[in-house]
Amino acid sequence: MAAIQKTIRHVVSTTKTAQPLAPYSKGIRVDKTLYVSGQIGLDPKTGEFSGEDVESQAKQCMVNLGSVLEAGGSSFDKVVKTTVMMADIADYGKINDIYATYFPNIKPARSAYAVAALPKNAKVEIEAIAIVGDMADE
């Protein structure tokens, strides 16, 4: 009979992002996979949006995403999937321009769509799935 391996979930937290607005973790690590909750453009120091325009919020989303990736032992170059949610599909190009600067080499798989509303009336929210460590470790 094969041994059953217990899967352990690790909560990932950091003070480099604003506190969650609801009961969820900023990230969860399971084995070598990191699931990062959706990040909006809140400045961690003030708890307010980094700006009213989509560009400043998108930049802050990516900074926040990077902070959770780092806290979970990963980085942008190890992201395999993202989901981009935007309040206005007309902002797609502006968000893409900022998003692309964080993935200069291999682009992760991605879904992107407009939604009816985001928390605190954010203009954009981005979540990610990433690898932790080196895939050659197996």
Nearest to 37 by CA among 8, 57, 67: 67
Pick the CATH number of 31-131 from 3.30.1330.40, 3.40.190.10, 3.40.50.720, 3.40.50.300: 3.30.1330.40
- Sketch the domain layout of the chain as residue ranges: 31-131
Alpha helices per DSSP H over the chain: 54-71, 92-101
User: Measured between alpha carbons, how far is 30 from 13 in angstroms, rounded to an integer?
Assistant: 14
| pLDDT tens per residue, range 3-59 | 777 778 999 999 998 887 788 899 999 999 999 999 999 999 999 999 999 999 999
pLDDT of residue 138: 45
Q: What residues have CB less than 8 Å from 37, skipping those under 6 apart? A: 20, 24, 25, 26, 27, 68, 127
Q: Is the pLDDT of residue 137 over 80?
A: no
Q: Is the pLDDT of residue 60 over 70?
A: yes
| pLDDT tens per residue, range 100-120 | 999 999 999 999 999 999 999
User: Measured between alpha carbons, how far is 80 from 102 in angstroms, rounded to an integer?
Assistant: 13
Does this model's pTM top 0.85? My answer is yes
Tokens 């307010």, residue located: 48
